[in-house]
C-alpha cells in the first residue's frame, strides 16, 4: 500500500511538522510545505510570481519559483543550518502556489499581483514571495503598505532600481523610485546593500556599494541595516544578482564584483532583530544557471527568512 509520507505537498494533513521524503522524488512545493489555498491561521504563506516581462536584459525569471521550489528539496527534516531547529515544529506554513497572470495582457499584471497579495495579507502575518523579476516587488509593497503603513526597505541588489518611471511602465529597474514617490517606503529608513551600478538619483536611500561590502564584516553590514531601519516595520527584498555571478550565474542582469552567498547569508543570519513584515527573493532565471547554483542560493535565502521568523516566534512564546 502506498505511503502517504511522500508527496506531502498534497498528502499532508497539517500545516506544521515535517516528515522524511526523498530529496529526488515527490511533489516539489517550497520546503515540502502543504499546497493549500486555505491560508487562515498560518504564520507564513509562500507564494510564487512567475513574471519576467519587465526585464531589461535576459528573460527567464518566470521560471524562478519552480527552480527555487525544486532546489528547496535539499532542506530535509533535519534541523536547518544555521538555526539548529525544525522550522516547522510549531510554525504553520503553506505554499499557496503561483499567481495566475495573463501573459498577453501585462498592463493587468500589477493590479493582479496587488489584489492577490492583499487577499493573502488579510489572512496571514507574513508573505514570502518568490519571483519573478524585480518589478513584482512594486505591487507587493503596495499591498504591505496598505496593511502596515510606510515601510523601511532593505534591498540586497546590484542595482538601485531608481530609474525614471512615468508610473505606467512595466520595468524592473524603477520600483524603488516609484515606491518613494508614492510614500510606500520611507527612504530615511531604507538601505541598499551590494550596489554595483549607478543610477541618476538615489532618492535618499542609504547605499552600501559592492566594494564596501567586500571590505566590511557581516557584523558591520548587519549593524548598518539595523541602525537604518530603527525598529520600523521593514520589507526585505533580495535580488539574487546582489551575489557575484560566480555564486549566482542564473540571473537576468549579472554584475561582476559582488559578494559571496556565504557572506550575504551571514548578514541575513544577523537580522533577527529587524521588524520584518514581508520578504521576497527575485530574479532567479534558471535557464542561465549551472547545477542549480543560483536556485540553491535563492532557496537558501528564502529558508533563512523563515528561520528568522521561527526564532522570533520562539522568543515571543518563551
Please tell me whether 157 is known to bind a ligand: yes
* CATH value at residue 232: 3.40.800.10
What mean pLDDT value characterizes the chain? 94
Please tell me whether 119 is known to bind a ligand: no
- pLDDT over threshold 80, residue 20: no
% of the chain beyond a pLDDT of 90: 83
> Does 1 reside within a domain?
no
> Does 74 reside within a domain?
yes
For 168, the domain range is 8-317
pLDDT for 189-219, tens place per residue?
999 999 999 999 999 999 999 999 999 999 9
Confidence of residue 129 (pLDDT cuts 50, 70, 90): very high
> Does 2 reside within a domain?
no
pLDDT for 252-281, tens place per residue?
999 999 999 999 999 999 999 999 999 999
> Does 275 reside within a domain?
yes
Please tell me whether 161 is known to bind a ligand: yes
> Does 116 reside within a domain?
yes
Per residue, the 3-state secondary structure of the chain, as one string, reads CCCCCCCHHHHCCCCCCCCCCCCCCCCCCHHHCEECCCCCCECEEEEEECCCCCCCCCCCHHHHHHHHHHHHHHCCCCCECCCCECCCCCCCEEEEEECCCCCCCHHHHHHHHHHHHHHHHCCECCEEEEECCHHHHHHHHHHHHHHHCCEEEEEECCCCCCCCCCCCCCCCCCHHHHHHHCCCECHHHCEEEEECCCCCCCCCCEEEEHHHHHHCCHHHHHHHHHHHHCCCEEEEEEEHHHCCCCCCCCCCCCCCCCCCHHHHHHHHHCCCCCEEEEEEEECCCHHHCCCCHHHHHHHHHHHHHHHHHHHHHHHHHC
- pLDDT over threshold 90, residue 15: no
> Does 118 reside within a domain?
yes
> Does 165 reside within a domain?
yes
Q: Structurally, how many domains does the chain consist of?
A: 1
Please tell me whether 292 is known to bind a ligand: no
> Does 3 reside within a domain?
no
Amino acid at each position: 500500500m502506498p505511503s502517504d509520507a511522500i508527496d506531502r505537498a498534497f498528502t499532508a494533513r497539517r500545516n506544521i511538522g515535517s516528515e522524511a521524503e526523498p530529496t529526488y522524488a515527490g511533489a516539489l512545493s517550497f520546503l515540502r510545505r502543504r499546497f493549500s489555498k486555505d491560508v487562515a491561521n498560518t504564520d507564513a504563506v509562500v507564494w510564487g510570481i512567475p513574471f519576467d516581462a519587465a526585464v531589461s536584459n535576459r528573460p527567464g525569471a518566470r521560471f524562478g519559483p519552480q527552480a527555487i521550489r525544486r532546489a528547496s528539496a535539499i532542506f530535509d527534516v533535519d534541523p536547518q543550518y544555521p538555526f539548529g531547529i525544525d522550522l516547522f515544529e510549531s510554525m504553520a506554513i503553506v505554499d499557496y502556489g503561483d499567481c495566475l497572470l495573463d501573459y498577453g495582457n501585462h498592463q493587468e499584471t500589477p493590479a493582479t499581483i496587488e489584489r492577490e497579495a492583499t487577499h493573502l495579507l488579510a489572512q496571514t502575518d507574513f508573505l514570502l514571495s518568490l519571483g519573478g523579476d524585480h518589478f513584482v516587488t512594486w505591487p507587493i509593497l503596495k499591498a504591505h503598505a496598505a496593511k502596515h503603513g510606510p515601510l523601511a526597505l532593505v534591498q540586497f541588489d546590484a542595482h538601485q532600481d531608481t530609474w525614471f518611471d512615468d508610473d505606467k511602465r512595466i520595468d524592473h529597474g524603477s520600483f524603488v523610485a516609484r515606491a518613494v514617490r508614492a510614500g510606500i517606503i520611507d527612504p530615511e529608513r531604507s538601505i541598499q546593500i551590494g550596489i554595483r551600478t549607478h543610477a541618476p538619483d538615489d532618492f535618499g536611500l542609504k547605499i552600501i556599494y559592492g566594494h564596501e561590502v567586500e571590505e566590511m564584516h557581516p557584523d558591520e553590514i548587519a549593524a548598518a541595516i539595523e541602525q537604518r531601519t530603527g525598529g520600523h516595520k521593514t520589507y526585505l527584498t533580495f535580488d539574487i544578482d546582489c551575489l557575484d555571478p560566480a555564486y549566482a550565474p542564473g540571473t537576468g542582469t549579472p554584475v561582476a564584483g559582488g559578494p559571496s552567498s556565504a557572506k550575504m547569508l551571514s548578514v541575513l543570519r544577523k537580522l533577527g532583530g529587524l521588524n520584518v513584515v514581508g520578504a521576497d527573493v527575485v530574479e532567479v532565471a534558471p535557464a542561465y544557471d549551472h547545477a542549480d547554483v543560483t536556485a540553491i542560493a535563492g532557496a537558501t535565502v528564502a529558508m533563512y527568512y523563515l528561520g528568522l521568523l521561527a526564532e522570533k516566534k520562539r522568543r515571543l512564546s518563551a
